[in-house]
Structure 1
Amino acid sequence: MKITSVEVWTVQVPGADPPYSWRAGLQGSPPTGDRAVLRIGTDEGVTGVALAPRPGSPAMLTDIVDRLLRDELVGQDPLQREWLWHRMWELDRLDEFPLPLLGIVDIALWDLAGRHVNLPTWQLLGGFRTEIPAYASTSTFRTTEEFLDVADQCIALGYRAIKLHAWGDARADAALCIALREHVGPDLPLMYDGSAGFDLPDAIYVGEALADASYTWYEEPMREFSVSAYASLARSVRVPLLVAETSDGAHMNSADFIRAGAATFGVRASTGLRGGFTGSMRTAHLADAFRVRAEVHGGDIPNRHLCMAISNTTYYESLVTSVAVRREACVTSDGLVLAPTGPGVSLPTNIDLPAALSEYAQS
Structure 2
Amino acid sequence: MKIIKFETWWLKRDKCLFDQKRKGKSNMDWDVVVLKLTTDTGTEGIATALAARSGQVTESYLHDNIAPVVLGRSPYDREKIWHELWNIDRHLTFFPVYLPGPVDVALWDICAKAAGLPLYKYIGAYRTQLPVYASGLFHEDPEEYVREALYYQSKGINCYKAHPSGPYELDMKIHENIRNAVGPDMKLMSDPVAEYTLEEAIKVGRHLEKLNYEWLEEPFRDFELDKYSRLCAALDLPVAATETTRGCHWGVAQVINQKAADIVRADVSWKCGITGTLKIAHLAESFGMQCEIHTTTMNYMDLVNLHVSCAIRNCKYFEYFVPEEDFSFPMKGLLPIDEQGVIKVPEGPGVGAELDWELIEKLSVSHRAEVLEA
TM-score exceeds 0.5? yes
- Structure 1 residues 348 and 136: CA distance shift in structure 2, 3 A: closer
Equivalent residue, structure 2, for 1:93: 90
Identity, % of aligned positions: 33
The residue aligned with 2:317 is: 315
1:338 paired residue among 317, 332, 344: 344
Per-residue Cα deviation, 1:233-287 (whole angstroms, up to 9, x for no partner): 11222211111001111111111111211222x1012001111101111111111
- Counterpart residue identity of residue 339, structure 1: V
Q: Distance in 1 between matches of 2:355 and 2:212?
A: 45
Could you say if the C-alpha distance between residues 320 and 81 of structure 1 is closer, same or farther in structure 2, counting changes exceeding 3 Å? same
Q: Is the 8 Å Cα contact of residues 35 and 56 (structure 1) preserved in structure 2?
A: no
C-alpha distance in 1 between matches for 2:131 and 2:256? 25
* Residue-pair matches, total: 345
Q: 2:182 matched to 1:164?
A: no
Q: Aligned AA for 2:22?
A: L
Judge conservation of contact 2:17–2:30 (CA < 8 Å) in 1. Answer: no
Contact 1:36/1:57 (8 A) holds in 2:
no
Q: Find the residue that maps to 1:267 and give its secondary structure.
A: strand
SS in 2 for 1:352: helix
1:6–1:65 CA contact under 8 A, matched in 2: no
Q: Deviations over 1:40-85 (max 9, x none)?
A: 2211111212111222453223322333222222221111111111
Q: Deviations over 1:160-179 (max 9, x none)?
A: 21111111210000111122
| Corresponding residue number in structure 2 for 1:48 | 45
Give the 3 Å change call, closer, same or farther, for CA 306–50 of structure 1 in structure 2. same
Give the C-alpha shift of residue 182 in structure 1: 2.6
Query: What one-letter code is carried by the residue in structure 1 that aligns with 2:81?
Result: L
Q: Which residue of 2 aligns with 1:360?
A: none
**1:60 is the counterpart of 2:57:** yes
Amino acid of the residue matched to residue 308 of structure 2?
L
Secondary structure, in 3 states, of the residue corresponding to 1:205? helix
Change (3 A) 1:147 1:235: same
More displaced 10-residue stretch of structure 1: 32-41 or 72-81: 32-41
User: Which residue of 1 is the match for residue 7 of structure 2?
Assistant: 7
Is there any run of 5+ residues in structure 2 with no aligned partner, and where?
Answer: 325-333, 364-374
The residue correspondences of 1:96-115 to structure 2 (distance < 5 A) are: 96-115=94-113
Scaled by the length of structure 2, the TM-score of the pair is 0.85
Q: Please identify, of 203-212 and 53-62, the stretch whose mean Cα deviation from structure 2 is larger.
A: 53-62
Match of 2:303 in 1: 301
| Ranges in structure 1 where 5+ consecutive residues have no aligned partner | 323-327, 358-363
In the superposition, the TM-score normalised over structure 1's length comes to 0.87
What is the SS of the residue equivalent to 2:265? Answer: strand
Partner SS state of residue 132, structure 1: strand
Change (3 A) 1:57 1:306: farther
What SS does the aligned partner of 1:159 have? Answer: coil
Change (3 A) 1:262 1:33: closer
Q: Determine the C-alpha separation between the residues in 1 that align with 2:56 and 2:220.
A: 30
Q: Which of 114, 128, 148 does residue 116 from structure 1 map onto?
A: 114
- The answer (yes or no) to whether the contact 2:4–2:39 under 8 Å persists in 1 is yes
Alignment RMSD (CA, Å): 2.5
